[in-house]
Chain A
Amino acid sequence: MTQDLEMKDRSTPSNSASSPAPSTLHHLKEIASLIETGSYSKEVRRIARAVRLTIALRRKLTSSVISSFLDFVLTPASEAHAKLSAYLPKEDDHEMEVDAATSAIQTPAKHLLPELEIYCYLLVLLFLIDQKKYNEAKACSSASIVWLKNMNRRTVDVIASRLYFYYSYSYELTGDLAEIRGNLLALHRIATLRHDELGQETLLNLLLRNYLHYNLYDQAEKLRSKAPRFEAHSNQQFCRYLFYLGKIRTIQLEYTDAKESLLQAARKAPVAARGFRIQCNKWAVIVRLLLGEIPERTVFMQKGMEKALRPYFELTNAVRIGDLELFRNIADKFATTFSADRTHNLIVRLRHNVIRTGLRNISISYSRISLADVAKKLRLNSANPVADAESIVSKAIRDGAIDATLDHANGWMVSKETGDIYSTNEPQLAFNSRIAFCLNMHNEAVRALRFPPNTHKEKESAEKRRERQQQEQELAKHIAEEDDDDF
């Protein structure tokens, strides 16, 4: 579960590592100036870029670099400076002083932007989480959240959404997610009132994660169905949303929709987010099995996933063969894996599918078979196997899983001859639905085409406009003449 948290971070490889960087501090200063220009020109894009650059620098952050950066950006005596410096460990005091002295001379006290202050919080928080100082991280993130609540600026939103994320992450690491649920809900409400869509998106995902952490699927679904939805701003957040949605739907037995969400999440996730994709694949495999599909072997052979998906591969195999005994053994063998993945309850549901597949195999291979043999082949462990087999078979017939009839007096099952499907309307219906799908796809694609506003007007050159106006005038004259003729 924690792997997917790291998704965003891994997806940005630290490309600055190749060149011998002037110094991390220098980079940070550049980022600060980027934020400054972004803030003055109200360009959110620049700030988003600053956040991206910071993540690339993440591995190189040290206590001294951050504290000298704080001295550079914040007024040394200010409240924020004091608060933030308190979180940093004071091991290499000496070096820091030198740095601070030089930077203090270079930059006389200047007007502080809220973006920069909040950025400092983010930086310190990142550092604390990387140093595994989770309690300090919790304190720092909570302080920043209090501060954020009173800050209504669109240029802050990008940094704020990252802060929300690390806020929740630091609480998750210490296992106190339940504590901040109320706070997250309040933040989501504030973000909605301020039309901060990125914030809403991030917070909704954090809330869903929060609920699902405690298996509160009911609450999660209620929130999800009522929260406002809009076009996704961030691919990563959208992937997460799809994953959570898929999980909720799986639990609520809407397998077809769940499969769609989970597969989409797995496809959209960046290649570097391996942990996240493994999770998606695990759930997708189970959902497909529950739907009665058998996932292809290539699903389990994806690079870097073979080992993690191994239990699910063997499970699929058991379902494919339709052997209850094998299924039971595998469920027991990997019980710890499945309960760690929290898929155990889903696997219990699969038993029913194993029986169905086994039954289908029997029905294909035999034209007539006694119910006692069916029970033996399915390895039903029960007190009264024949009666059980009879009712199981009759339910399978009703659900359309097999095409057969039962003979109670003789106690056997007679499979029907599979008729010639081409003598029915079936192929034509299938053909029609495929054509309809293609046509629909085309129409949707046309509808999704976007045109920049006013392009059709610009195309009209000055000459053409004159021509058109002339035509219109002539037409007007013509009409006027006709009017005259009437009199």
Chain B
Amino acid sequence: MDPKLTEVSQLFDRFKAAFLRNDYETSTNLLSKLKVLLTEFRSLPPLFADTPNAVHELTIARDIYEHAVVLSVKTEDQDAFERDFFQLKPYYTDACNRLPPSPQEFPILGLNLLRLLVQNRIAEFHTELELLSSTALENPCIKHAVELEQSFMEGAYNRVLSARQTVPHETYVYFMDLLAKTVRDEIAGCSEKAYDYLSVKDAKQMLLFSSDQELLEYIKEEHPEWEIKNDSVFFQKAKESAPCKEIPSLQLINQTLSYARELERIV
């Protein structure tokens, strides 16, 4: 066996051991070493050279990047997630005819969809979705993300929140928690426009707070314009399109003058 390959697999074993112990610092260090070592294989993307050990090397590299993605979720580092995911992607798209499919493929693709949803990158979300085959769309991990997006767009927020209980993979929880925060802000924005007032009890329930104290703090920080009296939250209903009392004379004069100028140019 190729000595380089042996070195990588030994290091990878140590990484996996550290990873299982939840020792993230050691695993991150080992991971950077592994990535450097991987650059020496010519069979990996973008070269895809046809070396004798190609299949073996590709498999181990894919495995390493899959672990890297999961690690970045555990360390809650979204930038690292994006980087690792993009490095991993060619293994799924361009090397699929040479390698047996990975069992981790759909969970990771679903995780990426979820990340795009959390970061509100909906256009990219749909671009990624187009790449998936119809069988992939049936996979519970992918379906979960797709349904979340739909509920999110419709405004069925409680469906988004209840989806947290049915996550298909433990790594999804991190993003689901992030999503819950986004959902709370959305609900607050919608309630502000839709209701005249809400009782404190209802508002607490709707915005998913466990105590009145949390609710009050949230209002103080995010929406200081809301008013609390008689045990109810009153939303400021300003900016109504009141009938126009005054004629905006200055604006009208400006417009008329510009029409005159343009017409003169034509005639």
Indicate which residue in A407, A420, A435, A442 contacts B243 across the interface (CB closer than 8 Å). A420
CB under 8 Å from chain B, chain A span 432-486: 432, 435, 439, 442-443
Chain A residue at minimum C-beta to C-beta distance from B155: A395
**Contact indicator B193/A216 (Cβ below 8 Å):** no
Indicate which residue in A351, A383, A406, A419 contacts B154 across the interface (CB closer than 8 Å). A351
**Contact indicator B202/A345 (Cβ below 8 Å):** no
Cβ-based interface call for A408 (8 A): yes
Known: A391-B157, A423-B243, A425-B244. A397 touches B193 (CB 8 A): yes
CA distance A398 to B186 in the complex (A): 10
Most chain B CB atoms below 10 A, which of A344, A398, A419, A420: A398
Q: Which residues of A contact B159 (CB under 8 A)?
A: 382, 388
Cβ-based interface call for A174 (8 A): no
Interface 0/1 of B245-256, CB less than 8 Å to A: 000100010010
Q: Which residues of A contact B146 (CB under 8 A)?
A: 348
Q: How far is the CB of A43 from chain B (nearest CB, A)?
A: 41
CB under 8 Å from chain B, chain A span 34-53: none
Cβ-based interface call for B266 (8 A): yes
CA distance A392 to B159 in the complex (A): 11
Q: How far is the CB of A61 from chain B (nearest CB, A)?
A: 38
CA distance A251 to B127 in the complex (A): 6
Q: Which residues of A contact B192 (CB under 8 A)?
A: 398
Known: A345-B130, A408-B195, A420-B243. A392 touches B266 (CB 8 A): no
**Contact indicator B126/A252 (Cβ below 8 Å):** yes
**Contact indicator A409/B155 (Cβ below 8 Å):** no
Q: Which residues of A contact B127 (CB under 8 A)?
A: 217-218, 251-252
Interface 0/1 of A267-308, CB less than 8 Å to B: 000000000000000000000000000000000000000000
Known: A391-B155, A398-B193. A439 touches B243 (CB 8 A): no
Size bracket, chain A contacts:
35 or more
**Contact indicator B244/A391 (Cβ below 8 Å):** no
Q: Which residues of B contact A109 (CB under 8 A)?
A: none
Cβ-based interface call for A107 (8 A): no
Cβ-based interface call for B17 (8 A): no
Q: How far is the CB of B143 from chain A (nearest CB, A)?
A: 11
Q: How far is the CB of A456 from chain B (nearest CB, A)?
A: 20
Cβ-based interface call for A365 (8 A): no
CA distance A388 to B161 in the complex (A): 12
CA distance A348 to B252 in the complex (A): 46
Chain B residue at minimum C-beta to C-beta distance from A218: B127
**Contact indicator B153/A217 (Cβ below 8 Å):** no
CB under 8 Å from chain A, chain B span 195-244: 195-196, 198-199, 202, 241, 243-244
Indicate which residue in B126, B190, B199, B255 contacts A409 across the interface (CB closer than 8 Å). B199
Interface 0/1 of A216-256, CB less than 8 Å to B: 11100000000000000000000000000000000111100
Cβ-based interface call for A17 (8 A): no
Cβ-based interface call for B129 (8 A): yes
Q: Which residues of B contact A398 (CB under 8 A)?
A: 189-190, 192-194
> In the complex, how many residues of chain B place their beta carbon closer than 8 angstroms to a beta carbon of chain A?
41
Q: How far is the CB of B198 from chain A (nearest CB, A)?
A: 6
Indicate which residue in B156, B195, B243 contacts A382 across the interface (CB closer than 8 Å). B156
CB under 8 Å from chain B, chain A span 350-396: 351-352, 355, 382-384, 387-388, 391-396
CA distance A423 to B247 in the complex (A): 11
Q: Which residues of A contact B266 (CB under 8 A)?
A: 442
CB under 8 Å from chain A, chain B span 159-193: 159, 162, 186-187, 189-193
**Contact indicator B248/A425 (Cβ below 8 Å):** yes
Known: A251-B130, A388-B156, A435-B259. A424 touches B194 (CB 8 A): no
Chain A residue at minimum C-beta to C-beta distance from B242: A424
CA distance A355 to B156 in the complex (A): 11
Cβ-based interface call for A3 (8 A): no
**Contact indicator B194/A394 (Cβ below 8 Å):** yes
CA distance A388 to B150 in the complex (A): 13
**Contact indicator B244/A339 (Cβ below 8 Å):** no
CA distance A423 to B194 in the complex (A): 24
**Contact indicator B131/A405 (Cβ below 8 Å):** no
CA distance A166 to B155 in the complex (A): 49
Known: A393-B194, A397-B190, A423-B243. A253 touches B122 (CB 8 A): yes
Cβ-based interface call for B123 (8 A): yes
Cβ-based interface call for A131 (8 A): no
Interface 0/1 of B97-132, CB less than 8 Å to A: 000000000000000000000000011101101110
**Contact indicator A348/B126 (Cβ below 8 Å):** no
Interface 0/1 of A404-422, CB less than 8 Å to B: 1111110000000001100
**Contact indicator B194/A397 (Cβ below 8 Å):** yes
Indicate which residue in B150, B189, B243, B262 contacts A424 across the interface (CB closer than 8 Å). B243
Cβ-based interface call for B134 (8 A): yes
Cβ-based interface call for A329 (8 A): no
CA distance A392 to B157 in the complex (A): 8
**Contact indicator A352/B153 (Cβ below 8 Å):** yes
Q: How far is the CB of A321 from chain B (nearest CB, A)?
A: 18
Cβ-based interface call for A152 (8 A): no
Most chain A CB atoms below 10 A, which of B156, B199, B248: B156
Indicate which residue in A345, A419, A424, A439 contacts B129 across the interface (CB closer than 8 Å). A345
**Contact indicator B202/A408 (Cβ below 8 Å):** yes
CA distance A253 to B123 in the complex (A): 6
**Contact indicator B244/A405 (Cβ below 8 Å):** no
Q: How far is the CB of B150 from chain A (nearest CB, A)?
A: 6
**Contact indicator B156/A391 (Cβ below 8 Å):** yes
CA distance A435 to B198 in the complex (A): 45
Cβ-based interface call for B10 (8 A): no
**Contact indicator A394/B191 (Cβ below 8 Å):** yes
**Would you give 10 A-B contacts (Cβ < 8 Å), ordered by A?**
A252-B126, A352-B154, A388-B159, A391-B155, A397-B193, A405-B195, A406-B195, A408-B202, A419-B241, A439-B259
Top 8 A-B pairs, shortest CB-CB distance = A395-B155, A394-B194, A423-B243, A394-B190, A252-B123, A397-B194, A398-B193, A215-B130
Q: Which residues of B contact A (CB under 8 A)?
A: 122-124, 126-127, 129-131, 134, 146, 150, 153-159, 162, 186-187, 189-196, 198-199, 202, 241, 243-244, 248, 252, 255, 259, 262, 266
